[in-house]
């Protein structure tokens, strides 16, 4: 193939040095570089989607933005690569160095804009565009390089394209699997991006310098070496400082009183507040519990549902133990089953001094049993199976007793203490099918209490939950609780202890059948700090004033939340 001479590439054709390896070996090395670079490219893409979903919320929207922008940018990159085809070797090396730097630092940059600027949407689009352009430039340049190293490529262009795309797609497969199963759980989002960038730089630079180094002018060779050394130096420095960066960013988000910060297999869990004070609990950047007013929410969620038989109670979510605390205030409760996905939250609720004090050390009560499972899947498996006998917790154990098998029977009360339906991962837990499964484990005359998101700020979401419950065969009674902070924001909550502006928690009390349940407190209700019959009646009237009629229910195949 003929290349135009430039200041960075050696003279073409006759001036090119023969490859340092046999054609078959050289072809294999180029395809191996394609494989590695494709794996790295997909890791960058998944990093952007995962971090954007965590920082911004609504994973469907963020995935759509990242994928559409990157695919468009890849087309732009392919067109721009035409300008580099006469200097393909040094061009590819510099493209990979730039991709390693931009992709490797993308997670850090997104987290920094979120922590210090409070907005990462524009950074997300910018990095998606930049990474996409650089990825799009790879294949045209690699096609040029493989033609230079193999006569067969010139004779069988179609076969060469097939080989390149096969290596590219297989590399994407490996990168796609490595990210959730290897990189993310072992290294976390920031370090895994930095490591991926380093691998990307080494693979691209080593291939060019080994196979085509003798074709480069001294200036081009040293430029490529300097670029890769600089990129690796930046990535290594960032990796060394990543813990300090994360702590500084966390303080910017949560304030100076971060006391516990752990990454469980499910989410990031942060506790803030001084020793001896009620803590604030954040899950994936969202305020889940405000220690100063959580009782307003949990009392309103639990106690109206306890009017009537309540010997056996099922709590879906609520790993913090606060809803369980309210349930256990009734002496005639015989058993409480908690189904929560995150073992780390339950462990923290049991062992952290402030959080365990706040929940009244609920997990030390022998009536409480815990299942670590997805609530939807557990309900699906639970219907129709008898409850196996359980064991009382062993005193002094670090963990509550955990039963992996479903506990079914019939529950008098089901408390759905789950995250906001506006968070995409929670949408299926507010679907008509989910409530149908909940109805199957309810005893005759049983009650279901549902957290349905903020009513005043997101009335469409709230009333869609109500419509979905009614479509599943429940009679419903909408009401709400008012507090300092809603605690279930559908996007990241950057406040350093919660806003002082009053917000509400939208709640729905439901029972099977067309007749709505009575919204009242049990006759044997314990003394409550803030809940009274008049407060409940007023909250129901306030809810009715926001009613949006005619909303369709949300189903698994047609989710209607997020707005």
Which residues share a beta bridge with 368?
Answer: 336
What are the Cα distances from residue 474, in Å, to 271, 448, 450, 454, 537? 37, 9, 12, 21, 20
Active-site residue, selected from the candidate residues 280, 293, 417, 490:
417
Sign of CA dihedral 277, 278, 284, 286: negative
Residue 415 and residue 449 in contact, taking contact as beta carbons nearer than 8 Å: yes
Pairs from 378-386 (Cβ < 8 Å, separation ≥ 24): 378/339, 378/406, 379/316, 379/339, 379/434, 379/437, 379/438, 379/440, 379/441, 380/437, 381/406, 382/406, 382/407, 382/408, 382/437, 382/441, 383/408, 383/437, 383/440, 383/441, 384/408
Strands 335-340 and 312-317: parallel
**For this structure, is 524 an active site residue?**
no
Strands 411-417 and 312-317: parallel
Beta carbons within 8 Å of 177's beta carbon, 6+ residues apart: none
Rounded to whole angstroms, the Cα distance separating 558 from 563 reads 14
Q: Which of 464, 428, 468 is nearest to 448 (CA)?
A: 468
What are the Cα distances from residue 306, in Å, to 336, 395, 520? 13, 29, 9
Residues identified as active-site: 417
């Amino acid at each position: 193939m003929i290349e135009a001479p430039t200041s960075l590439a050696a003279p073409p054709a006759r001036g090119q040095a023969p490859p340092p390896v046999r054609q078959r070996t050289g072809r294999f090395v180029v395809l191996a570089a394609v494989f590695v670079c494709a794996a790295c490219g997909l890791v960058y893409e998944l990093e952007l989607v995962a971090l954007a979903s965590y920082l911004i919320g609504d994973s469907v929207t963020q995935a759509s933005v990242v994928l559409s922008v990157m695919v468009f940018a890849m087309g732009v990159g392919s067109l721009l690569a035409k300008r580099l085809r006469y200097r393909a070797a040094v061009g590819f090396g510099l493209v990979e160095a730039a991709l390693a730097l931009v992709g490797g630092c993308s997670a850090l940059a997104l987290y920094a804009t979120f922590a210090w600027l409070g907005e990462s949407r524009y950074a997300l689009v910018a990095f998606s565009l930049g990474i996409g352009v650089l990825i799009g430039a790879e294949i045209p340049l690699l096609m040029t390089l493989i033609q230079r190293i193999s006569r067969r490529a010139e004779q069988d262009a179609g076969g060469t394209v097939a080989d390149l795309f096969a290596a590219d797609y297989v590399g994407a497969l490996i990168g796609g699997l490595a990210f959730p199963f290897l990189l993310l759980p072992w290294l976390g989002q920031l370090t895994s991006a930095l490591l991926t960038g380093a691998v990307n730089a080494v693979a691209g630079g080593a291939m060019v310098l080994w196979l085509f180094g003798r074709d480069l002018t001294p200036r081009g060779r040293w430029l490529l070496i300097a670029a890769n050394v600089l990129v690796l130096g930046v990535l290594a420095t960032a990796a060394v400082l990543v813990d300090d960066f994360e702590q500084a960013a966390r303080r910017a988000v949560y304030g100076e009183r971060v006391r516990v910060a752990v990454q469980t297999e499910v989410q990031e869990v942060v506790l803030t507040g001084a020793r001896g004070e009620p803590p604030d609990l954040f899950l994936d950047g969202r305020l889940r519990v405000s220690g100063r007013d959580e009782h307003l929410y949990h009392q309103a969620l639990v106690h109206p549902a306890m009017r009537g038989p309540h010997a056996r109670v099922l709590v879906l979510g609520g790993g913090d133990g606060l809803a369980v605390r309210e349930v256990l205030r009734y002496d005639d409760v015989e058993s409480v089953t908690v189904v929560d996905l995150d073992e780390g939250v339950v462990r923290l609720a049991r062992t952290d001094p402030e959080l365990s004090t706040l929940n009244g050390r609920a997990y030390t009560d022998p009536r409480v049993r815990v299942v670590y499972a997805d609530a939807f899947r557990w309900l699906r498996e639970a219907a129709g199976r008898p409850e196996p006998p359980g064991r009382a917790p062993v005193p002094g154990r670090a963990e509550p007793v955990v039963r992996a098998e479903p506990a079914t029977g019939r529950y008098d009360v089901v408390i759905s203490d789950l995250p906001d339906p506006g968070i995409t991962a929670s949408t299926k837990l507010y679907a008509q099918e989910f409530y149908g499964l909940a109805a199957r484990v309810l005893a005759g005359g049983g009650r279901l209490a549902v957290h349905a998101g903020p009513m005043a700020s997101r009335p469409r979401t709230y009333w869609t939950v109500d419509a979905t419950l009614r479509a599943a065969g429940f009679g419903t009674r909408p009401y709400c609780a008012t507090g300092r902070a809603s605690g279930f924001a559908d996007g990241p909550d950057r406040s350093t202890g919660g806003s002082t502006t009053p917000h509400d928690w939208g709640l729905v009390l439901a029972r099977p059948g067309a007749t709505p349940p009575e919204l009242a407190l049990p006759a044997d209700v314990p003394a409550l700090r803030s809940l009274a019959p008049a407060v409940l009646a007023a909250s129901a009237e306030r809810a009715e004033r926001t009613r949006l009629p005619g909303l369709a229910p949300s189903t698994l195949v047609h989710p209607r939340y997020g707005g």
